[in-house]
Structures are given as structure tokens and as C-alpha cells.
């Protein structure tokens, strides 16, 4: 499921980029919303994959500090790295909605 969650926003972004000159003002504003949605999907998918790796499908929703598997350096650092990436993705969409 994660590759699909990654591919759909990437393909949508490429289609929007390739047709950017023909977009109307309202459509340009939608680009910011699409970036925010892509960031939310990425955050959800990363958390779901992390939870599954740590405690399995039936494990607790809050898996930090649990008895399950943990990556090198622990979960906290990787969740912070993912959060920074998600924020950067969402912020990148703010400037994309403006006219060129």
C-alpha cells in the first residue's frame, strides 16, 4: 500500500506541473491543498508502516516505548525526521499556488 500512497501524489504533482501554465487562479490555489493532502497521506502511511513494523497489525496505536521491534536510534528520531519531511512538503505547496 505504501508504494501506491507515494506514487499517486507524485504522478498528480507531475501532471499539475506539466500543465501549470494553463491553470486558472482557482486551480493554482488548489495546488497548495494538494501538497497539504500529499503531506498528510505521507504522514499517515509512515506512521502505519512504523506501527506495523514495531508491534504488528493488532498492536497498540501508541507503539513508542513498547516491547516491539525498534530501528537503530529508536522510533522517536525517525518520527521526527518524517515529520520534518512532511512539514517541508506542505510548506513547498504554499509557494506553488502563486502565479508565475
Span 23-38, pLDDT tens digits: 666 676 788 888 889 9
- The Cα–Cα gap between 24 and 77 comes to 41
CA–CA dist 23, 41 (Å, integer): 24
Q: What domain range is 51 assigned to?
A: 2-96
Whether the pLDDT of residue 100 is over 60: the answer is no
Model-level pTM?
0.65
How many domains are there within the chain? 1
Amino acid at each position: 500500500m505504501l508504494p501506491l500512497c507515494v506514487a499517486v501524489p507524485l504522478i498528480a504533482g507531475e501532471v499539475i506541473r506539466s500543465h501549470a501554465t494553463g491553470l486558472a487562479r482557482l486551480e493554482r490555489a488548489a495546488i497548495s491543498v494538494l501538497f497539504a493532502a500529499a503531506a498528510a497521506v505521507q504522514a499517515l502511511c509512515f506512521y502505519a508502516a512504523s506501527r506495523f513494523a514495531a508491534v504488528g497489525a493488532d498492536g497498540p496505536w501508541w507503539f513508542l516505548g513498547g516491547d516491539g521491534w525498534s530501528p537503530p536510534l529508536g522510533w522517536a528520531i525517525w518520527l521526527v525526521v518524517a515529520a520534518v519531511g512532511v512539514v517541508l512538503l506542505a510548506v513547498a505547496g504554499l509557494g506553488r499556488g502563486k502565479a508565475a
